[in-house]
Amino acid sequence: MKRHVVLATAVIFAAGAAFAETAPTEVTFEEGAVAQSLTGVPGNPEEGAKVAATRPLGNCVACHEISALSADFQGNVGPSLNGAADRWEEAQLRGIVIDAKHTFEGTVMPGMYKTGPFIRPGDAYTGKAAPADLPPILTAQQVEDVVAFLMTLKE
Amino acid sequence: MTLRFSRTTFAAMAALAIGFGPAIAEPVDDELVVNEELTITTKAAAAPHLDGHMSEVYSGWLFRTDETRAMQMDDFDNPMFIYVERGAEAWTTAEGTEGKACADCHGALEEGMKGVRAAMPKVNAAGALWSMEDYINDCRTNRMGAEALKWNSNEMKDMTSAISLQSRGMPVNVAIDGPAAEFWERGKEIYYTRFGQLEMSCASCHEENYGNNIRADHLSQGQTNGFPLYRLKDGAAVSIHQRFVGCVRDTRAETFAAGSQEFRELELYVASRGMGLDIEGVAVRP
């Protein structure tokens, strides 16, 4: 009985350690791509679709047309994301969402999982200075959700 | 396959591979004639200092819908004239301990203030770069014995609107050399600095993407020749610095304050990007 509990705890602990979230500062890019999941938990494409359409979150539709989403006023600062999964591997899409500047030099696309260094970082859209522990725009799991959603965009 | 594209290569590739590239939609082909008599230049060859950046400059008016453009073509439909009228009244009203009105020193608004807006901001006698608001407050505090007006107060917008109208149809004419040069250089640096958590500069939206849509907003070149202007969304007049605050805030950055040295320098640089365009002196925008 006692052995059992110890064993179970050990397993949970090991699982926790193996899938510890990758912090924004610890992400490693290879030619712009990020092979490893940030969380070890598979992304949920439906949640990802919400993140992509919501302004304080990813707000991908501000700049990209995504026909699978019903959000109005989809922008065209970036290319259409229809068929994105036909053009990119999952690891490449993860890299683009985390920080597209590793894939597209000088791009205007913001890094969604990045905590700096920034010039005059603000506290979201308040115009005030950012707190010292400025969180990334998306959480690690939201990044995985968006990547899972992008992987559904096939033509 | 290597993943590091330059932006132009990528755009070319995208155009080839999927049949479209980032579209640079043209501004509308229309002419701004106010009250059926005054033609205002809204499109011009870019000033030499914009070489390699832009070849033509466009007023924000050309990026607006038919309805919004129409509101600026007739002074009766332009909500800014409420501000202009109040400002013209304040011009002749004595205020402060000296018992003087603006008109006592400057004469009629139409003559005394002609061309003033077109040259703003400019370096004053003491070598500081001042916006129109600074000059107004200098007269109020030092010559009239009145209180300074807050930068974005209605009273200030009344006065800047009435004065700006006197330059309507005159080309933007800011000095960027001589004593202005150092301010202009710093303004240019601010313009191209990628601020905030979104790491975007003024150029990210207004040089690289004018004509494109960012969500519901049709991006213009972010010119200042129409200010102060009526923003339908706010139902109120907006000053140049107020607009800058909003744009910097939208990059998830800590903004500079209205009236700050940084924004006066930025104001000078942005004004210089509009050389060739005419002052619209009280425009209307969505």
Name residue, tokens 């200098």. Answer: B138
- CB B129 within 8 Å of CB B268: yes
Residues of B in contact with A122 (CB under 8 A): 196-197, 249, 251-255
- CB B248 within 8 Å of CB B266: no
Whether B5 shows a pLDDT value over 60: the answer reads no
How does pLDDT run across B200-237, given as a tens digit for each residue? 999 999 999 999 999 999 999 999 999 999 999 999 99
Inform me whether the C-beta atom of residue B8 falls under 8 Å from chain A C-beta atoms.
Answer: no
Q: Do A127 and B253 touch (CB under 8 A)?
A: yes
Coil, helix or strand for A133? Answer: coil
Tell me how far apart the alpha carbons of residues A143 and B139 are, in angstroms, rounded to a whole number. Answer: 55
CA of A14 vs chain B CAs: smallest distance (Å): 35
pLDDT tier at B86 (50, 70, 90 boundaries)? very high
Coil, helix or strand for A72? Answer: coil
Q: Do B197 and A62 touch (CB under 8 A)?
A: no
* H/E stretch holding A84: helix A84-87
Residues of B in contact with A105 (CB under 8 A): 4-7
The confidence score (pLDDT) of residue A113 equals 98
How does pLDDT run across B108-123, given as a tens digit for each residue? 999 999 999 999 999 9
Identify the CA nearest to B34 among candidates B222, B228, B229, B168.
B168
CATH of domain A2-150: 1.10.760.10
Residues of A in contact with B205 (CB under 8 A): 108
Question: Average pLDDT, stretch B156-170?
Answer: 98
Inform me whether the C-beta atom of residue A63 falls under 8 Å from chain B C-beta atoms.
Answer: yes
- Burial classification of residue B103, based on how many CB atoms lie within 10 Å of its CB (0-12 exposed, 13-18 middle, 19 or more buried): middle
DSSP, res A49: H
Q: Do A75 and B213 touch (CB under 8 A)?
A: yes
Identify the CA nearest to B98 among candidates B142, B59, B42.
B142
Q: Do B5 and A105 touch (CB under 8 A)?
A: yes
The reply to whether B105 belongs to the active site is: no
The confidence score (pLDDT) of residue A77 equals 97
Encode chain B in three state secondary structure.
CCCCECHHHHHHHHHHHHCCCCCCCCCCCCCEEECCCEEECCEEECCHHHCCCCCEEECHHHHCCHHHHHHCCCCCCCCCHHHHHHHHHHHCCCECCCCECHHHHHCCHHHHCCCCHHHCCEECCCCCEECHHHHHHHHHHHHHCCCCCCCCCHHHHHHHHHHHHCCCCCECCCCCCHHHHHHHHHHHHHHCCCECCCCECHHHHHCCCCCCEECCEECCCCCCCCCCEEECCCCEEECHHHHHHHHHHCCCECCCCCCCHHHHHHHHHHHHHCECEECCCCEEEC
Name residue B174's amino acid. Answer: V
Q: Which of residues 9-48 of B touch A (CB under 8 A)?
A: 10, 14, 17-18, 20-23
The confidence score (pLDDT) of residue A56 equals 86
The confidence score (pLDDT) of residue B25 equals 59
The confidence score (pLDDT) of residue B15 equals 36
CA of A151 vs chain B CAs: smallest distance (Å): 18
How does pLDDT run across B53-82, given as a tens digit for each residue? 999 999 999 999 999 999 999 999 999 999
Mutation pick from B3, B207, B218 vs chain A, by most beta carbons of A within 10 Å, is: B3
- CB B187 within 8 Å of CB B265: yes
Cα dihedral B30, B34, B36, B42 in deg (nearest 10): -30
The confidence score (pLDDT) of residue B11 equals 40
Contact pairs from chain A to chain B, CB under 8 Å: 115
CA of B152 vs chain A CAs: smallest distance (Å): 17
Per cent of chain B over pLDDT 70 is 91
Whether B174 shows a pLDDT value over 80: the answer reads yes
Q: B157: which 2 tokens?
A: 């917008």
**Which of A63, A105, A129 lies closest to B214 in CB terms?**
A63
**Which of B21, B197, B205 lies closest to A121 in CB terms?**
B197
How does pLDDT run across A47-69, given as a tens digit for each residue? 999 999 998 899 999 999 999 99
Residues of B in contact with A103 (CB under 8 A): 3-5
More confident residue, B96 or B12: B96
- Write down the ipTM of this complex: 0.90
Residues of A in contact with B252 (CB under 8 A): 121-122, 124-125, 137
The pLDDT tens digits along chain A (155 residues) read: 444 544 444 444 444 445 689 999 999 999 999 999 999 999 999 999 999 999 889 999 999 999 999 999 999 999 999 999 999 999 999 999 999 999 999 999 999 999 999 999 999 999 999 999 999 999 999 999 999 999 999 99
CA of B235 vs chain A CAs: smallest distance (Å): 21
Domains, chain B: 33-77+172-285 (1.10.760.10), 85-165 (1.10.760.10)
Whether B261 shows a pLDDT value over 70: the answer reads yes
Strand partners, B52: none
Average pLDDT, chain B: 92
Mutation pick from B5, B192, B195, B199 vs chain A, by most beta carbons of A within 10 Å, is: B199
Q: Do A137 and B197 touch (CB under 8 A)?
A: yes
Cα distances (angstroms) measured from residue A135 to each of A9, A36, A48, A123, A130? 31, 21, 19, 9, 9
Q: Where are the domains of chain A?
A: 2-150
Whether B3 shows a pLDDT value over 50: the answer reads no
More confident residue, B11 or B221: B221
Inform me whether the C-beta atom of residue A132 falls under 8 Å from chain B C-beta atoms.
Answer: no
CA of A68 vs chain B CAs: smallest distance (Å): 16
What pTM was computed for the model?
0.91
Question: Average pLDDT, stretch B139-166?
Answer: 98
Whether B21 shows a pLDDT value over 50: the answer reads no
Q: For B200, phi and psi rounded to 5 degrees?
A: -120, 140
